[in-house]
Amino acid sequence: MTETTGFDILSQNGSLSDLGVIIVDKNQISTRSKQIIAAVNHLLTGRTTPLVMSLDGGSGAGKSTLAAELASVLEAAVISCDDFFDASISDEEWDTCTAEQKCLRCIDWERLRKEALTPLIAGREARYHPFSFTSGNGVAASLVTKNPAPVIILDGIYSSLPVLSDVVHFTVLVDVTPEIRRERHNLREGSSDAAWHLRWDSAEDYYFSTIRPPALFDLVVTNQ
């Protein structure tokens, strides 16, 4: 397995450090990341356009940690799906939605596609305003910039929904038991986060049991 990969399009932009990518010691790359890297390198063979992969899994699965490792080795652009949370829907409205509706509407997929995926797939810089809990309109004043890359990682639950099947080439599930995921989520948030779990746990369970069960992913890696 080769350790790094990339297209000529990326080399024209300079080194990884020039692109603002965090360099991870390759000796500390997890076995889970190595599994994904091997599969991605195989898919990149002979490819001349960016490879889009979804890094899916429930809250607390450890997706973002894996995404950072993968980005450093694969010279990837990481798009956090949370940056495109649909701020137009109030908590009260979410609580009237079914589990399926929450899965489908949680992320503004149209905005994610238009502002992040489309330019990056075309080899152009992507610029967008991420979601913010504190701003009045749900969108931060700050601007996120992503440079062209040979691999585009969609980091977030629901990133393997059929709505993106025309642009996602490789789907990965970070598989963790719901009990462990929810414990990690609570540790990360510093509380039991009961209101969040009441609103979203059923949606996550529905997604992985009905819309996208593990058997439908191209690769499943465990992260217990």
Q: Are 76 and 55 in contact (CB under 8 A)?
A: no
Q: What are the pLDDT digits (tens) for 56-74? A: 998 888 899 899 999 999 9
CA angle, 39 as apex, 18 and 54 as ends, to 5°? 70
CATH of the domain at 191: 3.40.50.300
How many independent structural domains does the chain possess?
1
In a domain? residue 1: no
Q: What are the pLDDT digits (tens) for 145-163? A: 999 999 999 999 999 999 9
Whole-model pTM: value is 0.83
Instruction: Report the SS3 class of residue 144.
Output: strand
In a domain? residue 188: yes
In a domain? residue 135: yes
Amino acid in position 213: P
Spatial CB neighbours of 22, under 8 Å, sequence gap ≥ 6: 68, 71, 72
Four-residue CA torsion sign, 214, 217, 219, 223 = negative
Q: What are the pLDDT digits (tens) for 2-15? A: 333 333 333 333 33
Reference 87, options 142, 141, 138, 156; nearest CA is 138
The whole domain housing 61 covers: 8-222
